[in-house]
Chains A and B, each alone.
Chain A
Amino acid sequence: MGSAHSVPAEMRELADRTGFTSEQIEHLHRRFKQLSRDQLTIRNLRPESDGLADEINFEDFLTIMSYFRPIEMNMDEEQLDRFRKEKLKFLFHMYDSDHDGKITLQEYRNVVEELLSGNPHLEKESARSIADGAMMEAASICVGQMGPDQVYEGITFEDFLKMWQGIDIETKMHVRFLNMETIAHCY
């Protein structure tokens, strides 16, 4: 794509796939160009990129953004369910850094440590304990009463879904893509 505008056919295909309107895609494209400084892809600037992609192109960018679309009023049950699953899948992948389909305790710990790293007064110990406690909780929800010989390996995607069953994430996990003025950031 580069600096040229997307071909309408391509755009339509993207629009169908991600659900954005062509206007929103234009906006996001402009934003993408800003972030990538007119390159084709955005590079990963972090030093260690275990489990993370090195670069993403516009399509990936758009796909990820599409996970955060708000729910529309005219969606039916099945669409809603699919939507929700997509969002949860995204989250799941974020936690599961080695992409083996399970969130193990260590991965969970990493996540919690990252989350709580903003609080300077918290020690790693506590973060670990919290992760352990959370894992416990997850285990108790997902598997309920386990037999004496069972061992809980990690949270699979089904378990993850189960955990979030009663909880309404549709309202928590979306961003309004309304006024998309590209704001200049200093990079």
Chain B
Amino acid sequence: MRQVSGVGLLLGLMALPAALGQRSSGSPINSNQTQSFAIVSFKWEHVKEPYIITLWILVASLAKIVFHLSSKVTRVVPESALLIVLGLLLGGIVWAADHIASFTLTPNVFFFYLLPPIVLDAGYFMPNRLFFGNLGSILLYAVIGTIWNAATTGLSLYGVYQTGIMGHLNSGLLDFLLFGSLIAAVDPVAVLAVFEEVHVNEVLFIIVFGESLLNDAVTVVLYNVFESFVTISQENVTGIECVKGIVSFFVVSLGGTLVGVFFAFLLSLVSRFTKHVRIIEPGFVFIISYLSYLTAEMLSLSAILAITFCGICCQKYVKANISEQSSTTVRYTMKMLASGAETIIFMFLGISAVDPDIWTWNTAFILLTLVFISVYRVIGVVLQTWILNHYRMVQLEIIDQVVMSYGGLRGAVAFALVALLDDEKVRDKNLFVSTTIIVVFFTVIFQGLTIKPLVQWLKVKKTEHREPKLNEKLHGRAFDHILSAIEDISGQIGHNYLRDKWSNFDRKFLSKVLMRRSAQKSRDQILNVFHELNLKDAISYVAEGERRGSLAFIRSPSTDNMVNVDFSTPLPSTVESSVSYLLREKAGPVCLDMQALEQRRKSIRDTEDTVTHHTLQQYLYKPRQEHKHLYSRHEIMHSEDDKQDKEIFHRTMRKRLESFKSTKLGINRSKKLNKIHKRDRGQKRRNSSVIPNGKIPSENPLQDFTLKEKDLEFSESEENNDYETLHLGKGVDFLANVTKQNFTDTPNGIDNPVFSTDDDQSIYMKFSPWLSSEDTVVPSQRARVQIPYSPNNFRRLTPFRLSNKSVDSFLLADGPEDRPRSFLPESTHM
């Protein structure tokens, strides 16, 4: 019911632009009527252009909403197909209203405004390692495959034409070849649109997608070559022209790539210096990338290649340089633009089809085109895969080949190219246009519809959306080294060797130039995974704490009476003191809230809060959010709650910290940190002395301390990395610390009334396993209050032998069922 009304509303709304479009045709201004002052006037002509454009964009976006109202439909039918159908409907309405096709997908709009965002999005989020690892295969398919498709299709059509089945056409061999070249190219927009709903495994996806991106060079060259051949007419085509064509291929492709790389370099360099203009940082990414596209277009090189490589090359440095918020902004904006562009493209494909003027029907031609492109694609894929499998480490099996052939979708690029043809020179343009439309519709709708069931039926290996575990990353790194070594030993230059050399080069030279100093330090994959894991643990720890209603270590006296309240539905009065509330606030203006909260909190419990949040802040990382590469237009994040919470949480913490900085004197702060450090040092020392491995790490506590001091000072100089270097070793310590006793340092450490030295034995249920009896015990600060189940129990490692009385509730919660008892506040003293 909702859907129906939604659709009805939508159609009604659609009629609007159509109707408005009509107004433009005739609006004679009565010039002899302006005697009095018009209070209000209808200035349609004035706003017509932008208004219609905006209205169309609105319509397209509304359409998306309506489609997604029914999940049943969207699971079966790909969105692109739905959009095309919608476009057909709208086109029908427009035409019915006025009998002229006022809205079509003009090639200019397509190539200048709609295509670049999509390609940039693809390049910026391209998984580089995967891409370059399979580059050989991708290039083979893109270049040889496209040439094969173009040649065979064109020649076959010409051959069939000679037999006369098609009746009379005005085309010669060159025209057919021209048509073949523009219909042969696999389209990145269509591939993305369909494959992202199918989720095949990465290698397969990257090959098809990479092919669709890189074949642009071939398409451009072939198209231009044949178009000029057609213009200069068949007689003048000599060998020289052909040679020139081949040379132009290399020039176009390499030139486009170089342009892209150059602009990527420029962009990375610029992003290095944008620390003080954070607000417009994201703008640079888009502006410079778009410039690369236009420059390549200007030089008649391959613009798609340029912007793709710009995105590919700049990602690493830009992501390292720009701030967290800018990174998020760039991500979101890019996805939005790309998604929007894709929607509009498909919708307009549908609309443009409703134009009786261009329709020329030639059954044989159309049918044969469809047959030929499918058949030749299959043959091409099979042949090339057979060749490739001799050289590939990971073989491409039959199933992969089937998916690759079936996934060779044609799309809007072909349509735009055909619309660009000059119908003086190519007299059968209308026929070509009609055929192209039919082919595009067929591949997008029919193949898009059926590819999902096909993939499921063939049991194609799907992507695994798994977080890379720390071990995996570690061992992955180990593998890289080992393989490089083996390659070196066996005297070959292989992938790993090259990759090794490249990363050395990158680290020594490129990163020094293109990355900010602060970013260079913390740019390590393993570290990032590690940070993320820690942060995830910390967040789940906090979240659990709230669920249980006793997050006492950031509690304050004012919430005493509220302790029994279930924090999952925070009351307004307790809102300000609950971090979880902040966590739940997914809205953008965290700043504002933080400010307000800051004021309130400060007025009540200044020191306590400071110290508390200080503690928390100190032990948590602010890692860069490394989002896994999801080939999706619609989702950026992995699991919404998880990552969002993480992000908001640590953003929150950072804000708090920055506000502390501004309010506290520098000396005081470092003093505080020193104190806490001392505590850590002492702790570590104590704990390390009981490592059973026999090796007592000869840590000089003082030395470590000064080391940390140095880091602190150093990091102070850089605004955004206040505690990053400081915390390099701290994340695990945080969670580990909570299971250690540190109460000997309590007098020196945090003077928090929450952490009273209450020795209430009743709350101590079990003993941790590694506790040796000789140590005296003092419950950790955490243990004073009932802290909920932590997912990461460090007690499992032999080294962490601690006192036998540390009864952190951490320890208590072992299995998921094994919840500690009530977390009533009476066990804590406020």
CA distance A116 to B524 in the complex (A): 9
- Chain B nearest CB from A91 CB (Å) reads 7
CA distance A112 to B526 in the complex (A): 10
Which chain B positions have C-beta within 8 A of A26? none
Tell me whether A176 and B394 are in contact in the complex, defined as CB-CB below 8 angstroms, given that A105-B797, A140-B796, A148-B767 are known contacts.
no
Q: In which size bucket is the chain B interface?
A: 35 or more
B489 at the interface (CB under 8 A from A): yes
Report yes or no: A180 in contact with B732, Cβ–Cβ below 8 A. no
CA distance A166 to B475 in the complex (A): 14
Report yes or no: A149 in contact with B797, Cβ–Cβ below 8 A. no
B393 at the interface (CB under 8 A from A): yes
Report yes or no: B693 in contact with A105, Cβ–Cβ below 8 A. yes
Report yes or no: A121 in contact with B522, Cβ–Cβ below 8 A. yes
Which chain A positions have C-beta within 8 A of B526? 115-116, 130
Report yes or no: A31 in contact with B731, Cβ–Cβ below 8 A. no
Report yes or no: A137 in contact with B693, Cβ–Cβ below 8 A. no
CA distance A21 to B814 in the complex (A): 54
B483 at the interface (CB under 8 A from A): yes
Q: In which size bucket is the chain A interface?
A: 35 or more
- Chain A nearest CB from B704 CB (Å) reads 7
Partner of B732, one of A94, A133, A153, A177: A133
- Chain A nearest CB from B797 CB (Å) reads 6
Report yes or no: A28 in contact with B490, Cβ–Cβ below 8 A. yes
A186 at the interface (CB under 8 A from B): no
Report yes or no: A122 in contact with B483, Cβ–Cβ below 8 A. no
Partner of A129, one of B492, B493, B704, B731: B731
Within 8 A of B (CB), among A128-187: 128-130, 132-141, 143, 145-146, 148-153, 163-164, 166-167, 169, 171-183, 185
Which chain B positions have C-beta within 8 A of A60? none
Q: Mark A14-51, 1 if CB is under 8 A from B, else 0.
A: 00000000000000100100110000000000000000
Which chain A positions have C-beta within 8 A of B393? 70, 171, 174, 176
Report yes or no: B481 in contact with A115, Cβ–Cβ below 8 A. yes
Which chain A positions have C-beta within 8 A of B23? none
Which chain B positions have C-beta within 8 A of A143? 796
Interface stretch among B74-82, B266-274, B527-535? Answer: B527-535
Report yes or no: B736 in contact with A132, Cβ–Cβ below 8 A. yes
A119 at the interface (CB under 8 A from B): yes
Report yes or no: A106 in contact with B732, Cβ–Cβ below 8 A. no
Which chain A positions have C-beta within 8 A of B702? none
B479 at the interface (CB under 8 A from A): yes
A11 at the interface (CB under 8 A from B): no
Which chain A positions have C-beta within 8 A of B769? 146, 148-151
- Chain B nearest CB from A107 CB (Å) reads 10
Report yes or no: A175 in contact with B469, Cβ–Cβ below 8 A. no
A65 at the interface (CB under 8 A from B): yes
Report yes or no: A181 in contact with B707, Cβ–Cβ below 8 A. no
CA distance A91 to B486 in the complex (A): 13
Tell me whether A137 and B489 are in contact in the complex, defined as CB-CB below 8 angstroms, given that A91-B475, A121-B520, A176-B494 are known contacts.
no
CA distance A182 to B492 in the complex (A): 7
- Chain A nearest CB from B396 CB (Å) reads 11
B21 at the interface (CB under 8 A from A): no
Which chain B positions have C-beta within 8 A of A166? 464, 466
A57 at the interface (CB under 8 A from B): no
- Chain A nearest CB from B393 CB (Å) reads 5
B10 at the interface (CB under 8 A from A): no
Within 8 A of B (CB), among A91-123: 91, 94, 104-106, 111-112, 115-116, 119, 121-123
Which chain A positions have C-beta within 8 A of B770? 151
A125 at the interface (CB under 8 A from B): yes
Report yes or no: A123 in contact with B707, Cβ–Cβ below 8 A. yes
Report yes or no: A139 in contact with B490, Cβ–Cβ below 8 A. no
- Chain A nearest CB from B456 CB (Å) reads 21
A58 at the interface (CB under 8 A from B): no
Tell me whether A153 and B798 are in contact in the complex, defined as CB-CB below 8 angstroms, given that A105-B693, A134-B474, A175-B486 are known contacts.
yes
Report yes or no: A137 in contact with B799, Cβ–Cβ below 8 A. no
Which chain B positions have C-beta within 8 A of A111? 474, 478
Which chain A positions have C-beta within 8 A of B605? none
CA distance A53 to B521 in the complex (A): 36
- Chain A nearest CB from B814 CB (Å) reads 6
Report yes or no: B704 in contact with A125, Cβ–Cβ below 8 A. yes
Report yes or no: A183 in contact with B493, Cβ–Cβ below 8 A. yes
Which chain B positions have C-beta within 8 A of A122? 524, 527, 728
CA distance A73 to B466 in the complex (A): 27
CA distance A150 to B521 in the complex (A): 39
Report yes or no: A112 in contact with B814, Cβ–Cβ below 8 A. no
Tell me whether A172 and B476 are in contact in the complex, defined as CB-CB below 8 angstroms, given that A65-B490, A149-B769, A151-B798 are known contacts.
yes
Minimal Cβ-Cβ distance residue in B for A31 = B491
Which chain B positions have C-beta within 8 A of A148? 766-769, 811, 814
Which chain A positions have C-beta within 8 A of B598? none
Report yes or no: B491 in contact with A137, Cβ–Cβ below 8 A. no
Partner of B483, one of A152, A175, A185: A175
Tell me whether A115 and B477 are in contact in the complex, defined as CB-CB below 8 angstroms, given that A73-B395, A125-B704, A163-B471 are known contacts.
yes
CA distance A182 to B728 in the complex (A): 43
Tell me whether A132 and B732 are in contact in the complex, defined as CB-CB below 8 angstroms, given that A28-B490, A35-B489, A172-B479 are known contacts.
yes
Which chain B positions have C-beta within 8 A of A140? 796
- Chain A nearest CB from B202 CB (Å) reads 11
- Chain B nearest CB from A149 CB (Å) reads 5
Minimal Cβ-Cβ distance residue in A for B692 = A151
Tell me whether A171 and B394 are in contact in the complex, defined as CB-CB below 8 angstroms, given that A35-B489, A119-B524, A137-B469 are known contacts.
yes
Q: Mark B803-821, 1 if CB is under 8 A from A, else 0.
A: 0000000010011000000
Minimal Cβ-Cβ distance residue in B for A139 = B796
A→B interface (CB under 8 Å): 28, 31, 34-35, 65, 68, 70, 73, 91, 94, 104-106, 111-112, 115-116, 119, 121-123, 125-126, 128-130, 132-141, 143, 145-146, 148-153, 163-164, 166-167, 169, 171-183, 185
B→A interface (CB under 8 Å): 391, 393-395, 464, 466, 469-472, 474-479, 481-483, 486-487, 489-494, 496, 520-522, 524, 526-527, 530, 533-534, 693, 695, 704, 707, 728-729, 731-733, 736, 766-770, 792-794, 796-799, 811, 814-815
Known A136-B796, A143-B796, A146-B769; 17 more pairs at CB < 8 Å: A28-B490, A31-B489, A116-B526, A130-B474, A132-B736, A134-B471, A148-B767, A152-B798, A171-B393, A172-B476, A174-B483, A175-B486, A176-B492, A179-B492, A180-B490, A181-B492, A183-B492
| Between-chain CB contacts (< 8 Å), 29 pairs | A31-B489, A91-B475, A91-B482, A104-B798, A106-B693, A125-B729, A130-B732, A132-B794, A132-B799, A133-B530, A133-B534, A136-B796, A137-B470, A149-B769, A151-B798, A152-B796, A152-B797, A153-B798, A163-B471, A166-B464, A173-B482, A175-B486, A175-B494, A176-B393, A177-B492, A178-B391, A181-B492, A183-B491, A185-B491
A-B pairs, top 5 by smallest CB distance, nearest first, are A125-B729, A121-B521, A129-B732, A126-B729, A126-B728
